[in-house]
Amino acid sequence: MISTPEYSRRLGRRFILAVVLLGATAPSEAETGALLTEAKAALRAGDGIAAQARLREVLRDGASPDAVRALMGEALLDQGDRVSARKWLAAARFTRETRGLGYRILGRLEQADGNLPAAGKAYDRALESDPSDPALWSDIARLRFAGGELKGAIDAADHAVSIGQNSAPALTMRAVLVREQFGLRSSLPWFRAALSRAPNDPDLLAEYAATLGDMGRAREMLEVARRLVAVSPGDPRGFLLQAALAARAGNNRLARTLLDRTGGSFTDLPAAMLLEGVLALREGDYSVAVAQLDRLGRLRPDDPIVQALLARALAAGAGRAVPSTVRPVGHASVWSVLGAEEGLQTAALRHADAPTDAQACARYVRALLRAGDNAAAAKVAAQLMQARPGLPDAHLMAGDVALASGDRPAALRAYQQGARLSLGREEAQRLAVVLRELGRDAEAVAVSRRFARENPLAT
């Protein structure tokens, strides 16, 4: 039996040894801080895998999960693992220091999952903690843009740039919105400014490459797309961009190979639908071409290129030729050519299901105008304008109704308001038409030239 003094001496030695060992192995605050700094740097570089590895080291060293919850959620979200990211973020048990970041990343997660109202609530919570974060205001701009509220998106992006002139996320979002508001060419200086701050940011590289491609600057686009693949090998956008470039050059086999390398990541992306449709049409697979182009046509009922391709695919699949005199300008026009026009009742049902959805409203308004019910069309257009005044399509609908009613000055005002938010093809065409009808030919020419200068391949 061990005597009490002997036991005390042994216990004392063990206690001292434990203290020594703990002192030798426990990480210092400086070491933990260094790991967190490395994790944050990896996240800024777009390397979620490296960030996750550093954060795991911090956890192994005894840090509280709540202390790394926001950063771990961001690292997982950057890798596309939304399920695991939600496990870290959903409880929202963030520390006071990380609360702003945590709610911002939670907002990004909700937006990625299509939960736009939940994303807005998360961003509101983030604003309570950090109202001067330019990255947060950039995310708010992106959310508003995704919801079609272009005016609100522009305001948020402007604010992000004003409080973070060197912020790459703020400059990137402003570049995207300048592209939407003014045109491709005007956005280039903003993209370049963002690249000077974050030359290896995958999102920025993808947007810049797409802009160059839309401008027909193929060589520059290819360089940027290859750079995207180099800095982010697992990002399928680099392959999609190169596939689009190969298809434009007529190299169908290479385009198909590159598209297959995306692993089906862009099934619901309009650009991928168009590319799939074009390739299937060239390959003679008309059923696939019709399926893809019909899906895209329902998303973009007024895109003349999509509608013309759909008409060609439908006619080819039926062994019929589309008359050369037919120039489809809307989804209903395509079906009219082939004897299956979408009716007013269907448009009304779609509108009833989504009364403030721009696409549903647009279909319904145009169906009502075709049916000669201008009063009902005006009511629907007014409801959309009241519900979503920052939406360019709301102004287009108001202009269409006014033009159908013979009120050209009111139509001009509506089209001009829409063009201030976004000078796309539809806005430019409508403006030019109504200006000519009002005898203002010089202004009509100026609008057309401005659109052509900004969008060299769209004319």
pLDDT tens digits for 189-205?
999 999 999 998 888 99
Tell me, what's the pLDDT at 103? 97
Tell me, what's the pLDDT at 329? 37
Is the Cβ–Cβ distance between 35 and 57 less than 8 Å? yes
Per-residue pLDDT, averaged over 423-439, amounts to: 92
Sign of CA dihedral 400, 401, 407, 413: negative
* Location of structure tokens 């009742």: 345
Per-residue pLDDT, averaged over 205-209, amounts to: 94
Lowest mean pLDDT among 229-238, 296-305, 351-360, 392-401: 351-360
Tell me, what's the pLDDT at 61? 86
Closest by Cα among 268, 300, 294, 270 to 281 = 294
Contacting residues for 144 by C-beta, under 8 A, at least 6 apart: 150, 152, 153, 156, 390
Reduced to 3 states (helix: H, G, I; strand: E, B; else coil), residue 267 is coil
Closest by Cα among 181, 45, 178, 14 to 192 = 178
| Residue 99 pLDDT > 50 | yes
Q: Report the C-alpha gap between 274 and 84 in whole angstroms.
A: 32
Query: How far is residue 378 from each of residues 333, 404, 453, measured CA to CA in Å?
Result: 22, 10, 34
Is the Cβ–Cβ distance between 255 and 275 less than 8 Å? yes
Name which residue leads in pLDDT, 166 or 340.
166
pLDDT tens digits for 217-226?
999 999 999 9
Per-residue pLDDT, averaged over 428-440, amounts to: 94
Q: Report the C-alpha gap between 400 and 395 in whole angstroms.
A: 9
Joined tokens for residue 338: 């082939």
Domain coordinates in residue numbering, the chain: 26-131, 267-328, 357-454
Contacting residues for 238 by C-beta, under 8 A, at least 6 apart: 206, 209, 225, 226, 228, 229, 232
Tell me, what's the pLDDT at 185? 95
Tell me, what's the pLDDT at 360? 79
pLDDT tens digits for 29-87?
667 778 888 998 888 877 889 999 999 999 998 888 999 999 999 999 988 899 999 99
Per-residue pLDDT, averaged over 385-409, amounts to: 91
Tell me, what's the pLDDT at 28? 56
| Residue 90 pLDDT > 50 | yes
pLDDT above 70 covers what percent of the chain? 84
Q: Tell me the pLDDT of the chain averaged across its residues.
A: 84
Decide whether 26-131 matches 357-454 in CATH topology: yes
Q: Report the C-alpha gap between 72 and 150 in whole angstroms.
A: 31
Kindly tell me the burial class for residue 353, based on how many C-beta atoms sit within 10 Å of its own C-beta (0-12, 13-18, 19 or more): exposed
Classify domain 357-454 by CATH number: 1.25.40.10
Q: What is the full DSSP assignment across 57-115? A: HHHHTT--HHHHHHHHHHHHHHTT-HHHHHHHHTT----TTTHHHHHHHHHHHHHHTT-
User: Out of 2.60.260.20, 3.30.720.200, 3.40.630.10, 1.25.40.10, which CATH number does the structure's domain 26-131 have?
Assistant: 1.25.40.10
